[in-house]
Structure 1
Amino acid sequence: MDSLLLTSSTTTDGVTERRFHLGDVPGILWTPEGATGPRPLVLLGHGGGMRMDVPRLVASARATVSAHGFAVAAIDAPGHGARPRLPRDDAARAEIRAARTADDSARFAAVSTRYMAELAEQAVPEWQAVIDALQALPEVGADAPVGYGGSISLGSAIGIPLTAAEPRIRAAVFGGGFFVSAAVVEAARRIRVPVQFLLPWDDEHASRADSLALFDAFGSEEKTLHANPGDHRRPRWLGLDEDFLARHLTAVAA
């Protein structure tokens, strides 16, 4: 198993941000300044074409640390951010651009679905190894409850199979905004933890009906759907349960 290599550490406004590598996977861990003892861990997944340190994700991580004292972690998905682009990544992105240029929605959906499945297959065990490594840190702890926040798009395409496979995840936030495959629906059926699901109502790519069917598939007794106006890039999230993860992870930790 690869060792966790901490590469930098900075502290501002009471939040310590440490960059790390686990093998060839780069990541960021945010914790309260001077944190000691165990605490819940929240994993944040970024969207397709983005990276772990986009401003919105960083702001969310820092707010969670400041408000609740949790640890928060993010990693670059395969082929994203600081990670090398493989021939698979370049080929898929070229196919996606060609399909969009040709206004070929069926091809666009097929290529996107295949590519996200390939990324998820690689990313799920990477995230599990990151959980192992971070829970070995005394300020996180081996028994720390874990939550997942994937918002929409790639973050959910990876987060749903991860949550289905990983019993340490005790609550999760997912969303629409991607092409839902039969494999993702099957993974959703295996999820039993509380789920908050975000749906950009006017997404110009993903099918609203497929997103609703995905929500219906979750096997969780507690699940809520939040549908807000907005397209794929600019949803306006209003009326969300902002304390959803904190409430469930604090209850587990108590």
Structure 2
Amino acid sequence: MHSLRFTAESSSNGVVERDFTVGDVPGVLWSPASRTDAGRAPLVLMGHGGGAHKKHPAMSGRAQRLVTGCGFHAAVIDAPGHGDRPRTARDEQEIAALREAQAAGEPEGPVVVPYNARLAELAVPEYRAALDALQELPEIGADGPVGYVGIALGTAIGVPLVAAEPRITAAVFGMMWPDALFEAARQITVPVEFALQWDNERIPREAGLALFDAFASKEKTLHANAGGHAAFPRFEADSATRFFARHLGGAVTATSPA
């Protein structure tokens, strides 16, 4: 079992940001600056999008909302071949195939779905190891509530993760093809919030609706927003914060732009 090692720390606007590694996997943990070790708080694991990384503005923006708005901790690790992790020759081949499909105006799903499924197969045990290590911190603890939020690649990794990990009790997903996720989605019974873009030129709305329908959760909410893939609205991050406040405990006191 790999232990967590902090490698850098900074603080601003009431949030402490700590870089860490678990084994050779890099991540970052955001926490309330005013919280002491004696005051535990829920943890929200996050998954970044394809081609992004653990400190992408979408990640730091969500973390800011969760920390300052709810007093939660938020953590994310770099997916395989992303951020500070080296790409393999296979990663390069998959990315080149995606660029070729995009340039030719061909459907991306046949390339992205198997690539993301491979990344998820690697990332799920890494997330579980990171969760093990993070729960050893006194300010988080082994018995505290845990949530997960991830869009696009974050959903491709998050759906099998949440299906396999009983410690995660609420999840936010969105914008991903369902092909490789149906089996895992049918195993998920925790509350789910799911967002899609109604006019998504990359992922057909029927695909997003099929994935939403597959979740076995008794409580699941669909957010369908007008616009294409890149028009995913920032206010969905505020909605996710309120969702976690309801299901993990806490009250939203503020939101901040990202």
Identify the TM-score tier after normalising by the shorter chain: over 0.9
1:234: which partner in 2?
A: 231
Deviation at 1:236, TM superposition (A): 2.6
1:205 maps to amino acid: R
Deviation at 1:241, TM superposition (A): 5.9
| Structure 1: tracts of 5 or more residues without a match | none
Fraction of identical pairs, as percent: 53
1:166: which partner in 2?
A: 165
Q: Partners in 2 of 1:28 and 1:40 — Cα distance?
A: 16
Does the 8 Å contact 1:228/1:238 carry over to 2? no
Q: What SS class does the counterpart of residue 99 from structure 1 fall into? A: helix
Runs ≥4 residues deviating over 3 A: 237-242
1:98: which partner in 2?
A: 100
Q: What SS class does the counterpart of residue 230 from structure 2 fall into? A: coil
2:45: which partner in 1?
A: 43
**RMSD value, Cα:** 1.5
1:70: which partner in 2?
A: 72
2:184: which partner in 1?
A: 187
Q: Partners in 1 of 2:129 and 2:235 — Cα distance?
A: 34
Q: What SS class does the counterpart of residue 191 from structure 1 fall into? A: coil
| Structure 2: tracts of 5 or more residues without a match | 251-258
1:223 to 220, 224, 231: 220
2:256: which partner in 1?
A: none
TM-score (norm 1): 0.93
2:245: which partner in 1?
A: 246
Deviation at 1:102, TM superposition (A): 2.3
Q: Partners in 1 of 2:43 and 2:241 — Cα distance?
A: 16
Does the 8 Å contact 1:229/1:236 carry over to 2? no
- Deviations along 1:229-250, whole A, 9 cap, x unmatched? 1211122355746410111011
Does the 8 Å contact 2:65/2:241 carry over to 1? no
Give the total of aligned pairs: 246
Q: What SS class does the counterpart of residue 65 from structure 2 fall into? A: helix
Q: Does 1:8 align with 2:5?
A: no
Q: Does 1:197 align with 2:194?
A: yes
Q: What SS class does the counterpart of residue 249 from structure 2 fall into? A: helix
Does the 8 Å contact 2:177/2:211 carry over to 1? no
Q: Where do residues 146-165 of structure 1 align in structure 2 (5 Å cutoff)?
A: 146-150=146-150, 152-165=151-164
Q: Which deviates more from structure 2 when the two are superposed, residues 187-196 or residues 2-11?
A: 2-11
Q: Partners in 2 of 1:237 and 1:6 — Cα distance?
A: 30
Does the 8 Å contact 1:32/1:66 carry over to 2? yes
Q: Which deviates more from structure 2 when the two are superposed, residues 239-248 or residues 210-219?
A: 239-248
Q: Partners in 1 of 2:133 and 2:140 — Cα distance?
A: 10
- Deviations along 1:120-175, whole A, 9 cap, x unmatched? 0000000000000000000110111100011x210101101100000000000001
1:212: which partner in 2?
A: 209
- Deviations along 1:71-106, whole A, 9 cap, x unmatched? 11011111111110011110100111112222232x
Q: What SS class does the counterpart of residue 243 from structure 1 fall into? A: helix
2:81 maps to amino acid: G
Distance change in 2, residues 1:143/1:9 (3 Å): same
